[in-house]
Amino acid sequence: LQFAVNYLAYSCTVLVLATSLFFQYRLFQFFDLSVGVVFLAGAYTFVLVAGFDMSLFCKIMFSVAVAGAVELVIIGGVIRPLYRLEILPLELMLVTLALYVISLNVFALLFGDELYRPSIATDSDIIHFSSFVMLDAQLGIAVLAIANIALIGLLLRYTSFGRVFRALSDSYSLTQDLGLLTLPTIALFVGLGALFVGAVGALTSADIGVRPITAFPYVLTAVGAFLALGGQTFRGVVVGTFAVTAGSQIGGFLFGEQWRELSMFVTVVLLLLVRRRYQWSIP
Amino acid sequence: MSEYIVHILIQICITSALAVSVNLLAGYCGLVSFGQLVFFGIGAYSAALLASHGYTVVWAVALLLASGGAMLQAWGTAGLKRDDFALATFALNAIFWMILQNWVGLTRGPMGVAGIPSIELFGLAFAGPLTFWIIALSLLVTCFVVAHRLVTRPFGMAMRMMRDDEELAESFGRNTWRLRRDTMVVASVMAAAAGVCQASYVGFVYPGSFSPMESTLLLATVIVGGLGRFWSPLIGACIVVCFPEVLRLIGLGSAHTANIRQILMSTILILAILQNRILHRRSLFGQQER
């Protein structure tokens, strides 16, 4: 059962990142690797405010606000202007990768390479169940992921923003020509994605601590989860995430924790091969 | 020449040779590959593991492994679009890095392999920096000669055609898959040879040198010099190798030099993409539009 709890916390973290990647890919047709920057911004802000005299909720909200501001700068200052210049998706991906590398090194310069972990006693209490234990940060991540699925699912399915999002996914320029609300829709989905990533960064920091390289395995797994089932629908991203993380956890369980990430890659490759062979996708 | 200068020159030669292989793929074929560091690593670890156990077939094994790996890479990435190809090779690099870190029984994991003996070629041992300089320079000259022969012949024209418009290249009867495969094999052999030299010269290899972040730095090295230009790898390598030394000379060298170097190179990567797009209205990686 403890294994299942750890799997759940890991999957939920990856799901939140994969959702953010999904938004960026559907809106701008590229892999936004700068999602790692937003994650680190949330995580390190939480480390900084962990010692402040305020409630845990306020600390997380403050971290989320900083992460949102970072995303705003990246989207408004870099991605959208470049997209308007008709930059290639490959170049956009490289720019975001470079941004991630810059941020990683800036955090390393500011905080060092070592693990920062806010005091568990004050920030993340252990909840004892009959046959397993769970940190409240892990519980928070799980709640966050459920809220993420519910909110995004409802927005995409039942609101006009969801329709504009789908229109933007099909053709950015046509949606603009039709006079649909493109900017608010982009702001809503990208902003939501960033806020969730910032929050999950803060909670991960409370759960296992943070170091500059912490975001990297999560981002890699999220990209794999996004790709595994085609990344065309939000449902596909959710199913893909749980499939890929299950593969990685089982690999880690069978062959040792150190092979967990490699098992993730193997799972993604297997899923891609199956999809290619049977032309199968999540509707 | 002092040993210090020779050391810098050797590093420039090895980095240039590796950068030539990246330039062949990214600059001439438009295939942004993060996988070249994998082949560099295959060469380095082949030298480390074989030479440490007294085997003398380092070169043959390293180059064969790299060629085989490149064939597999070409087969596995056939038909992928450019951004998907970049992502696939990035994943390949990440997988390789994880294997190096976690397969402790073979690679000694994060501790790395130390005490790698110097290279031997035709029975001659190249032990000191001055004698090793001959090997490094020969490697660089060979890589540039091979690259020159490739890019100035019809093969090179087909590479550039594929970079600018893959469909057009196919409609002119070029087999683009074969073109990709052949270029990957040549580039991987160059990278592996550079890896053998590096491991043998430094005498130590560890996984951190082959991380995906280092791959980004390598790509930036070629872009700094001017992607797709013949001498760009040499110019880029001079900047990358000399930058930490310059920092040290002006008294700014510290434990953070590597971080500063990565920040600088990543910034240059962004600026190069912006400069091409804003000033020249074209892509850094060929003329195809979205």
Say yes or no for a CB contact (<8 Å) between B285 and A90: yes
Residue owning tokens 């046959």 = A131
Residues 6 or more apart whose Cβ sits within 8 Å of residue B105: none
SS3 sequence, B154-207? HHHHHHHHHHHCHHHHHHCCCCHHHHHHHHHHHHHHHHHHHHHHHHHHHCEECH
Within the 84-103 window of chain A, which residues sit less than 8 Å (CB to CB) from chain B?
85-91, 93-95, 97-99, 101-102
What residue of B is the nearest CA neighbor of A93?
B83
pLDDT tens for the 290 residues of chain B, in order: 688 899 999 999 999 999 999 999 999 998 989 999 999 999 999 989 988 887 778 888 889 999 999 999 998 888 787 778 888 898 899 999 999 998 988 888 889 998 888 777 666 666 778 888 888 999 999 999 999 999 999 999 999 998 888 888 888 888 888 999 999 999 999 999 999 999 989 989 999 899 888 898 898 888 888 888 889 899 999 988 888 888 888 776 677 788 888 898 889 888 888 887 777 767 667 655 44
Cα B251 to Cα B242: distance, rounded to the nearest angstrom:
14
pLDDT of the residue at A55 = 83
Residues 6 or more apart whose Cβ sits within 8 Å of residue A139: A127
Cα B117 to Cα B126: distance, rounded to the nearest angstrom:
10
Tokens, residue A256: 């040792």
In the predicted structure, residue A283 carries a pLDDT above the cut 60? no
pLDDT of the residue at A87 = 84
Within the 175-214 window of chain A, which residues sit less than 8 Å (CB to CB) from chain B?
none
Cα A16 to Cα A6: distance, rounded to the nearest angstrom:
16
Say yes or no for a CB contact (<8 Å) between B83 and A105: no
Can you spell out the DSSP letters for A33-84? TTHHHHHHHHHHHHHHHTTSSS-HHHHHHHHHHHHHHHHHHHIIIIIHHHHH
Say yes or no for a CB contact (<8 Å) between A93 and B95: no
pLDDT of the residue at A281 = 58
What is the pLDDT confidence band of residue A137, given thresholds at 50, 70 and 90? confident
How many CB pairs below 8 Å do chains A and B form together?
94
Cα B239 to Cα B266: distance, rounded to the nearest angstrom:
14
- Would you say the pTM of this structure is higher than 0.90? no
Cα A269 to Cα A271: distance, rounded to the nearest angstrom:
5
Closest CA relative to residue A137, chosen from A150, A123, A149, A116: A123
pLDDT above 70 covers what percent of chain A? Answer: 91
Cα A117 to Cα A104: distance, rounded to the nearest angstrom:
17
Terminal Cα distance for chain B, rounded: 51
Cβ contacts (< 8 Å) between B270 and chain A: which residues?
95, 98-99
Q: Tell me how close the Cα of A75 comes to any Cα of chain B, in angstroms.
A: 15
Cα A190 to Cα A188: distance, rounded to the nearest angstrom:
6
Cα B216 to Cα B219: distance, rounded to the nearest angstrom:
5
Interface probe for B, chosen from A32, A96, A97 (most Cβ of B below 10 Å), is: A97
Interface probe for A, chosen from B31, B75, B98, B279 (most Cβ of A below 10 Å), is: B98
pLDDT of the residue at A249 = 86
pLDDT of the residue at A121 = 45
Cα dihedral A20→A24→A26→A29 (10° resolution): -140
Q: Does A115 touch chain B (CB under 8 A)?
A: no
Helical segments of B103-173, H only:
104-107, 129-151, 154-164, 166-171
Give the DSSP H or E segment for B124: strand B124-125
Mean pLDDT of chain A: 85
pLDDT of A171-186, one tens digit each?
888 888 888 888 889 8
Q: Helix, strand, or coil here: B13?
A: helix
Lowest mean pLDDT among A28-42, A237-251, A254-268, B37-51: A254-268
Residues 6 or more apart whose Cβ sits within 8 Å of residue B36: B18, B21, B22, B25, B187, B188, B191, B215, B218
Cα A82 to Cα A92: distance, rounded to the nearest angstrom:
7
Q: Tell me how close the Cα of B46 comes to any Cα of chain A, in angstroms.
A: 22
pLDDT of the residue at B122 = 67
* Strand B204-205 relative to strand A126-128, pairing: unpaired
* Residues B126, B66, B31: CA angle, nearest 5 degrees: 120
A128 bridge partner residues: A133
pLDDT of A38-83, one tens digit each?
999 999 999 888 878 888 888 889 999 999 999 999 988 888 888 8
